[in-house]
Amino acid sequence: MKLTRTLAAALVLSSVLSVPAFAAKPVQQTQIAGEAMSNAEAAPSSYGKAPATITATANPVIALDAGHGGSDPGGVGNGLYEKNLTLDIANRAKSYITTNYPASVVMTRSSDVDVSLASRANIANNAGASFFVSMHINAFSDSSANGLETYYYPGSTNGQNLATDLYNKLKASYSVLRGVKSADFYVLHYTNMPASLGETGFISNATDASKLNTTTFRQTLATQYAQGMHLYWWGN
């Protein structure tokens, strides 16, 4: 299991290196459940979501993406802004990772600034990131909706593995488990490495929001995110 997973990770890293430069085309944006999604345009067949040849690399470069920021608050509810919660969780995850694991971290943002979706993907691609994790908080018109879900790009086996490993660590924090799902989110589509997007609770739900409003819970989520990344890369 461990060997297989490590091999898979190495396979993916190599494929990243061999993928030709890809210029993201402008896409129509629509809002669904508070998240910016790309259109249904398919990725090119050469796109780096599948392994190619082996080049072993021990220590990963992890791209962390704190959703929204600056003029884009993301979901708003119960007195909270999604952009502030995602930034805090991402910063805590970076700290945990760099303190505890032989990994380096690149952040798409580390303060309350606007960063386009294209720039987020480009930052990870230009850094040669080993994998990409985007952190979000859900929102829905029905305030009773609550719980955890993680996403991967449709058809990406490595993305699905990453999303599943994150989910399996984060689920200890939730009683409502909404599942590991695929979706054509922009940052999953245009990053050329395994990628996952986590929706850790609903800002529109009073119970989820009250938990997210504590530093203790956000630290727990950050730690679980990091442990899920460890599970993905090192297999335990």
Q: What is the largest CA-CA distance in the chain?
A: 49
Closest separation in Å from C-beta 175 to Zn ion: 22
The pairs formed by 209-213 with CB atoms below 8 angstroms and a separation of 24 or more are: 209/77, 209/78, 209/79, 209/80, 210/78, 211/173, 212/80, 212/85, 212/137, 213/78, 213/79, 213/80
Examine residue 60 and tell whether it contacts Zn ion (CB under 5 A).
no
Choice between 67 and 194, CB closer to Zn ion: 67
Site string for Zn ion, 25-54 (x = CB under 5 A): ----------x-------------------
Helix (H) or strand (E) holding 65: strand 61-66
Residue 82 designated active-site: no
The interface region with Zn ion, picked from 23-31, 64-72, 124-132, 150-158 by CB under 5 A, is 64-72
Judged by beta carbon, residue 50 or residue 76, the one nearer Zn ion is 76
Among 136, 169, 189, 211, binds Zn ion (CB under 5 A): 136
> By rule CB under 5 A, what count of residues binds Zn ion?
4
69 or 194: CB nearest Zn ion: 69
- Single residue of 51, 60, 67, 147 touching Zn ion by CB under 5 A: 67
CB 150 to Zn ion: min, Å: 13
* 121 in Cβ contact with 66 (< 8 Å): no
Residues 73-92 that bind Zn ion (CB under 5 A): 74
d(CA 85, CA 179): 21
For residue 77, the one-letter residue type is G
Q: Report the b/e string of 53-64 with b at 16+ CB within 10 A.
A: eeeeeeebbbbb
CB of 136 to Zn ion, least distance (A): 3
Gyration radius (Cα) of the chain, Å: 16
The catalytic residues are 199
Q: Which residues bind Zn ion (CB under 5 A)?
A: 35, 67, 74, 136
